Amino acid sequence: MPVASKPASLLRVIYFAVLGAALSGLSSAQDAQKVADLASIEDRVQAVYKHVGPSIVRFAYGRDPKLRFGSGVIVTSDGHVAISGPVQAVVQDDLLELRLINGRRVAGKALGWSSEFGFGILKITEQGPWPHIDLDRRVAAKAGQFCIAIGYPQDSEVDFENCPPSLRLGVVTKTAPPIWLTSSHRWKAGAYGVFDLDGRLLGLTCKTPGNGDALHTSAELIKTHWNELIAGKNLDRLRLYSAEVDPGGPGQPRAGGEETDATAIEKAKAAPVRIRDAGQKEGLASGVIVTSDGYVITCGHHERRPGQKMSISLPDGRDASAIVLGTNLVSDVGLMKITDEGPWPHAELGHSTTMRPGDRCVLIGYPRAQPGRVPWVRETQIIKPTQTLPTRDEWYCQFWTSGFPESIGGASGGGVFDMQGRVIGVMLGGAGNEMQHARVELFRKQWDLLAASNPVDVLGSEPLAEITAAFNRIAKELPPIAVKVLVDGKQRALGTIVGSDGLVLTKASVLVGAVSCRLVDGREISASVQKQSREHDLAVLKIDAAGLPEARWSRDDQIVPGTLIAAVVPGQQTRAGVVSIAARPKPPVVGGVGVQNGDRGTEVHDSSFGTDIQLKPDSCGGPVIDRNGRVVGIAIASQTEFGGFGESHVVPASVARRVVAD
């Protein structure tokens, strides 16, 4: 069981020892079902945060100004730091600066990395020992278990110079050992460690979409390649590049190139196919048949799991049934197999390592905007990308071509062919005027793993369902203290009843127009603004009503990260989460994205604490409760209003009480 970084009382040490023993018999997969007691969960989350926090570092690189990139996890006492994300963009500069939770700045350097698996290793170059989290290969994540993400956003307008890392509470939603897992965390771009409730590292976040599950590279994979990483190796070059195929090496001059074989290109057009979910008409992605018995390579971001049934449409007019064998979301590659009897037209696997900037190639796929059997074909050329930052070794698991036409959604997974009609990669997407592709060598190296069709463990219920249900029961026992605040007849916020004689606390910046409050019994009553606190974006309204229920305030003025809380929204289920960052001064943020036209914007200058609860702008102003049903604060800013990195903000009860009383 993790031990807090600060000295703890003997009683607390004994408590956690007993708690750890009681919970140690539960498998990770049983956590979400058997650990339903909110107090126990809260204690474990807080203990993990205290234990893990000192090992989380934020780093920047470059010279002047330094680019704040993200965060990593110290995994050895002598200062090795595991990081994730587009790691090839971090290793260009040995002059790295890392910041610890206590504000200390230390120097570091970049070691090895893998774009194929989305991780790398940095090294603190100053003398240790350093707080760290040991890598443990025996940790096997299971869908449904609780997990905690801890780290910093990659970049935002919010000043994190002196702030501790933020956290999220979620559950593992899918696992595909030994490469990847996903979780229910909603977080914008950044690099985060994901831990179980015993403080063990499960993985590193490599993709953090605004919607959908976050994707993590398994910590087990880091351990597997540990020796190469700490030796400073580029794993992409070690695993994927073949000097036998290309003796000159990437970037070296070569003696001429092959001429275009028009017949070969025409033949290659028979191999790309349109992929659909079984029984559906609309295309999902594209693919390329690469064997006569029907193996199909494609992208991974269609996110179909092994065993799912698919339909394949060929340009010769035939349709065939197929099945997903394997999908690697981290490398963005997938493998399918046609289950109908062949033989099937197919293309030969080529070698992307022989291609150089300026070499011509052909893209062939099936965009959804172009229905039918005729493939989309585009001749283009290999380029050196401008969409990625330079590195010490520019050879990695993807390559780029020029041009990114609009309306080619669905072409992902289609083939990139050399001028001899051999597949050298599959299309993934684009940025600016450039397209990105997965090298065919990824399929060669991962073929056996993808073809094994290992099952993916999938969560069978809503994330945090037990916690939400518990808070719903708590909220039902509370008096109806949340009201809807209308401006010119339209809901713009929520309000919290703070006086039985009709006092309502709400968000101030939305009150532009005629204000009224709609109570839970359906009454709509005109409201007048009695006072405002611009620095907190709070306003006290007065409605003509008596005998109303009042908020029961929490008297705990130290709401620590990991505290379980829930936002109360009239007529809806509670929205549960945790305190992600303790209360701290905030810089002014005006005219947030989530504020509708006509508002003056959100301005919060004083203390607020962060939460991972997802709120909309018209849900701000309502009460946020703890597991005892006490109001710990007023939701004041939604995720879209504060920097857009997936964190809502709450004015603490101590501040809200003062605004009402003054």
- Alpha-carbon distance of 573 to 650, in angstroms, equals 19
pTM, to two decimals: 0.86
Question: What is the predicted pLDDT for the residue at 588?
Answer: 42
Q: pLDDT tens for residues 614-623?
A: 888 899 999 9
User: Quick one: which of 593, 614, 615 has its CA closest to 602?
Assistant: 593
- Alpha-carbon distance of 370 to 353, in angstroms, equals 31
- Alpha-carbon distance of 434 to 448, in angstroms, equals 31
Q: Is 256 exposed, middle or buried (0-12, 13-18, 19+ CB in 10 A)?
A: exposed
Question: What is the predicted pLDDT for the residue at 592?
Answer: 31
Domain assignments of the chain as residue spans, ordered by start: 1-240, 262-387+395-451, 464-662
Using a pLDDT cut of 90, give the percent of the chain over it. Answer: 62
Residue 265 banded pLDDT, cuts 50, 70, 90: confident
SS3 state of residue 584: strand
As a dihedral over the C-alpha atoms of residue 522, residue 527, residue 529, residue 532, rounded to 10 degrees, the angle is 0
Residue 413 CB contacts under 8 Å (≥ 6 apart), including other chains = 275, 285, 286, 287, 288, 297, 298, 299, 302, 334, 365, 426, 427
Which has more pLDDT, 342 or 29? 342
Query: Which helix (H) or strand (E) is 654 found in, with range?
Result: helix 653-661
In words, the CATH class of domain 1-240 is mainly beta
Residue 585 banded pLDDT, cuts 50, 70, 90: low
SS3 state of residue 229: helix
Q: Over 90: is that where the pLDDT of 340 sits?
A: yes
Q: Where are the alpha helices (DSSP H) in 293-359?
A: none
Instruction: Render 119-154 in DSSP notation, one character per residue.
Output: EEEEEE-S----------TT----TT-EEEEEEEES
Q: For the chain, give the number of residues.
A: 662
Question: What is the predicted pLDDT for the residue at 2?
Answer: 34
CB of 285 closer than 8 Å to CB of 308: no
Question: What is the predicted pLDDT for the residue at 260?
Answer: 62
3-state secondary structure 360-422: EEEEEECCCCCCCCCCEEEEEEEECCCCCCCCCCCCCCEEEEECCCCCCCCCCCCEEECCCCC
Question: What is the predicted pLDDT for the residue at 62?
Answer: 63
- Alpha-carbon distance of 318 to 275, in angstroms, equals 13
Query: Which helix (H) or strand (E) is 262 found in, with range?
Result: helix 262-268
Q: How many other β-carbons are positioned within 10 Å of the β-carbon of residue 419?
A: 19
Q: How many other β-carbons are positioned within 10 Å of the β-carbon of residue 572?
A: 12
Residue 532 banded pLDDT, cuts 50, 70, 90: very high
- Alpha-carbon distance of 90 to 75, in angstroms, equals 18
Of 44-53, 150-159, 342-351, 482-491, the range with the lowest mean pLDDT is 150-159
- Alpha-carbon distance of 52 to 230, in angstroms, equals 22
Axis crossing angle, helix 10-24 with helix 38-52, rounded to the nearest 10: 110
- Alpha-carbon distance of 151 to 83, in angstroms, equals 11
CATH for 464-662 is 2.40.10.120
What is the phi/psi pair of residue 67, to 5°?
Answer: -90, 120
Q: How many other β-carbons are positioned within 10 Å of the β-carbon of residue 223?
A: 19
User: Quick one: which of 401, 69, 396 has its CA closest to 241?
Assistant: 396
- Alpha-carbon distance of 284 to 275, in angstroms, equals 6
Residue 24 banded pLDDT, cuts 50, 70, 90: very low
Question: What is the predicted pLDDT for the residue at 614?
Answer: 85
CB of 398 closer than 8 Å to CB of 410: no
Axis crossing angle, helix 465-476 with helix 38-52, rounded to the nearest 10: 130
User: Do the domains 262-387+395-451 and 1-240 match in fold?
Assistant: yes
Q: Where are the alpha helices (DSSP H) in 566-652?
A: none
- Alpha-carbon distance of 451 to 444, in angstroms, equals 11
- Alpha-carbon distance of 115 to 93, in angstroms, equals 17
Q: Over 60: is that where the pLDDT of 299 sits?
A: yes
Question: What is the predicted pLDDT for the residue at 385?
Answer: 85
User: Quick one: which of 293, 291, 305, 359 has its CA closest to 334?
Assistant: 305
Which has more pLDDT, 593 or 554? 554
Question: What is the predicted pLDDT for the residue at 586?
Answer: 53
User: Quick one: which of 321, 304, 309, 405 has its CA closest to 363?
Assistant: 405
What is the phi/psi pair of residue 249, to 5°?
Answer: 80, 155
CB of 646 closer than 8 Å to CB of 612: yes
| Mean local confidence (pLDDT), 442-463 | 94
- Alpha-carbon distance of 632 to 560, in angstroms, equals 11
Question: What is the predicted pLDDT for the residue at 110?
Answer: 86
User: Quick one: which of 611, 634, 661, 659 has its CA closest to 506?
Assistant: 634
Q: pLDDT tens for residues 481-499?
A: 999 999 999 999 999 999 9
User: Quick one: which of 133, 132, 110 has its CA closest to 122?
Assistant: 110
- Alpha-carbon distance of 439 to 333, in angstroms, equals 9
Check whether the bond before 65 is cis (ω within 30° of 0). Answer: yes
| Mean local confidence (pLDDT), 452-470 | 92
Which has more pLDDT, 207 or 514? 514
What is the phi/psi pair of residue 532, to 5°?
Answer: -135, 150
Using a pLDDT cut of 70, give the percent of the chain over it. Answer: 81
83 DSSP assignment: E
Which has more pLDDT, 12 or 380? 380
Q: Over 80: is that where the pLDDT of 602 sits?
A: no
Query: Topology of 262-387+395-451 in CATH?
Result: Thrombin, subunit H (2.40.10)
SS3 state of residue 447: helix
